[in-house]
Amino acid sequence: MRHGTLTEHARCVYGDEYRPTPECDAEHLEQFFVEELTFADADTIVAMLHELSPQLVDGNLPVWIRNLAYRLALLQRPDDPELLREAGHSLFMHGPDWDGIAAELARRAEELEARG
């Protein structure tokens, strides 16, 4: 079985706090998931994050995968205040190592919104 979406692939690799992990006979090497994540578009990445971690603090995705996912989405949508803010909130929750980066993301979101 091939995974139909990035979310399905993540669910098979890491599990899902809210749904059972589907039966799947695909190979679940983390590197294959990271490769798919690397080339996914921002909407696909954000959809995966929202589905697997709807409350931002929950879910089974490792923190480093969340950080990478937000970084890849922000590279594609650097002027999206909502995404900047969400990524910053995620970093604050999993810091304090990234608190400075999280504060910078929040500052950039405010600056973008002020410019209209």
pLDDT at res. 94: 83
Torsion of CA 45, 47, 52, 53, to 10 degrees: 90
pTM of the entire predicted model: 0.92
- pLDDT, averaged per 10 consecutive residues of the chain (116 residues), comes to 84 90 81 96 98 90 96 98 97 89 97 93
pLDDT at res. 56: 84
Give, to the nearest 10 degrees, the angle between helix 81-93 and helix 99-115: 160
pLDDT at res. 1: 45
Tell me the residue type at 12. Answer: C
Contacts of residue 16, Cβ cutoff 8 Å, sequence gap at least 6: 52, 59, 60
pLDDT at res. 4: 85
pLDDT at res. 111: 97
pLDDT at res. 57: 84
